[in-house]
A and B are shown apart, each in its own frame.
Chain A
Amino acid sequence: MEIKTINTTNISTFFNQLVQSGKIVIAPVLKKSGKIFFERVQSYNQIETDYIQTAFSAKSVVFPKVEELFSYSKTTDNFETKQSLSDIPETVVWGLRPCDSAAFNYMTRFFMDENPDIYFATRKERTTLIAISCAKSDEACFCTSVGLDPGKTKGSDIQLTLMGNEYYVEVITEKGLSAIKTSESLFTSSTEKSKEKYLAEPTTKFSIEEIKEKMQNAYDNVAWGQESMGCVGCGACAFACPTCTCFDIQDEGTGENGKRIRCWDACGFSQFTKHASGHNPKPNQTARRRQRLLHKFKYSVENIGMVSCVGCGRCIRICPAHLNIFENILNVTKA
C-alpha cells in the first residue's frame, strides 16, 4: 500500500483527468428529487460531495439491473448467438463509502467462489473503486456493528479521507496505482497517519457475535410475525442493498431473434419462491422478511463465512413502511 496526500484543489484535477483518460466515471449526483444517485459524470463540478449515503449502491456497475447475457438471431439456414462481454467498459466508481467497498468483496465471493460468473468477473476486472471515508453518519448507519468502520479500506482500490484541507490517500491495489499513474504529480508522498478523528461515529450499535449466535435459533421466534407486519412486499430494500445479489433470468424476443437477460429480483416479492405447481414455500410476508434477515445474518455466514450486511442503512432509509432491519434483528433475537 502507498500513502499519499492531495489537496482539495488538485482532487478535482485528478477527477477530471480520470474522465479524460477515457474511463467511464460513476459518482454521486444530486437529482431534482433531492435524492443522490451514482451516475456517469463528465466533470468534478457535477458531483455531490456533501452526503452521508447515496440512495442506491454502486452494485449496478458489476451487477446491472438488466444485463444482456447474449443475443440470438435465426435466418433460414443459420442460427447465431452473440455475447457482448468485450463491450464492457473500464469504469471508475468515485465516492462510494467503505461499507460499499466491503460489499464488493462480498459480491466477489458470491459470484466467484463456486461457479465463477464470467459477466461479473469481467465487469469487476474493469472496475476501479475509489472510496471516500465517512465524516458523517446518521441513525440508519450501523457499519461498526457488522465488523466495518467509516475508514475501513476493505475492498477499495484507493481510499480518500478528508483531513482538514487535504485528502489522505491510501492506494491499496495495483488498480489503484494505475489509476493515479498519469496524475502522479498532483499527489505528495506521505507516511501513515491516524484517520480516526476525521471519521464519523455511528451511534446505532449491536454486538454482531451475539446476534450471529442468537440467529441460529431465531427461525421459530413468534416475533417475526409482528416485525414483518408492516412489510408491504415491494423490492425497494433488496434493490437498494449493496449485497443483495438475487436475479431472474428472462428471455425477451421472438423465435427469430431476441436476447437472454439477467434482471434484479427480490425475496420480498410474493412470486419469488412460487413453484410452477402453484405451491409457494414462502407463503406470506412473514416468511419472506425472515428469509431476508436470516440470509444476511445466518445463511451467508454458513455458506460463505461472512455476514452479508454491511450496515449502510439504505434499506432503512428507503422502506415505504419504515421497517428497520436493525430494530427487527434486535427484536427477533430477544429472549
Chain B
Amino acid sequence: MISKNKKINYGLIFAVITMFIPLIVKDEYQLRIVNIVLLYSIIALSINLIVGFAGQLDFGRAAFVGLGGYWSAIMVVRLNVPFIISFISAGLFCALIGFVLGMLCRRSTFDYLTLITIGFNVICLKIFLNWHPITNGAMGIRLIPSPVLLGFKFDTNFKFFYFALGLLAICSLIINRITHSKIGRAFEAMRDNPIAAAYSGISVANFKVLNFSIASFFTGIAGAAIVHYNNYISPFNYSLDESIYQLQMAILGGLGSLPGSILGSAILVIAPEISRTFYDYRLMFVGFLMIAMMLWSPNGILGKNGIGEKVIGIRNLILVKKNKKSTKKIINHRR
C-alpha cells in the first residue's frame, strides 16, 4: 500500500525533474516538442475526466480545443484584449458551450452522446472554415502574440516551457483535487453503474453536465495556450481525426489515471516525430495500439489493472506483506 503522502511526493519529484529539461535539451526543435507534449497533456487530462472518470465517450474534443483557441486569438488580435483576460475567458467560454452541449444531451445515452459530439465537431469545423469575417476561413489567423503575464513575455521555447509546465501543474492539481472530492466520486459511481448511482442519490444527468463543463474549461484553456504558442491558428487542426488522436492519448496512458494522460500524450506526440517513415504509418501504429490496448489492457498503461499495475504488482505484494497488520486492521474496522 502506498500512502497518500508518498503519492504527492512522486508528483513533486516528477515536477522538479521536469523543470530541468530545458537546461539539458538545448535543441530548439526538441524543446518545442516537449512544450507541445505539456500542452497536449492538459487536453488528455480533460478527456480523461470525461472518458476515464465519467465513462462518457466524447469524440469531439478537438472542437473545444478549437473554440478556445479561436476565442482567445480573436479577442487578442481583433479586440486587443490583454492576454490573461482572453486566456481565462477562453476557458469560461468553452465551459459555457460545454454546459449547453451537456444540457442538450442530459438524457441521451451513450451512443447518442458519441454521435452528438461528433456532430458538434463537424459543425464547429465548418464554422471555423467558412465564417470568413471572424475566423478568416482556411487562411487562419496569423501573428497571434505570445502569452504575457505581469509584463513578462513568454516568447521563446525556453521561456514558454515554464509557462506550459506551470499551467499543466495547476490544471493537474485542480483535476486531481476534483477527482478526489465528492464530485469525483460521483463521476466514478456514474461510470461504474449509472442506475446504482442514481439510487444512491447522485443526479446522473446533472453530474454529466457538470463533468462536461469542467472538462471543457480545461480543454479550452489548453487550446488557447497552443494557439498563443504557435502564434497561428488554422481550422484544419480541429478535425475529427485530431479528436480521436487526442482521445487515444487519454486511453493509451490509462483511463482514470492522471499521470497516465501525460505519459500517453508524450508517447503519441513524440512517436511520429522520431522518423518520417514512421509518420506515414502513424495511423496504423495508433490503430494497432488501440486494438492491442482494448484486447489485453482496456485501462491503458497506468490505469486500474493496466500494464503498469501488473508490473508494479510484484512490488506491491512485498509492500502488502509489510503492512499486513494495518490491512487487517482496516478490514476489521470495515466489518
Chains A and B are bound partners: no
Chain A positions near chain B (C-beta within 8 angstroms): none
Chain B positions near chain A (C-beta within 8 angstroms): none
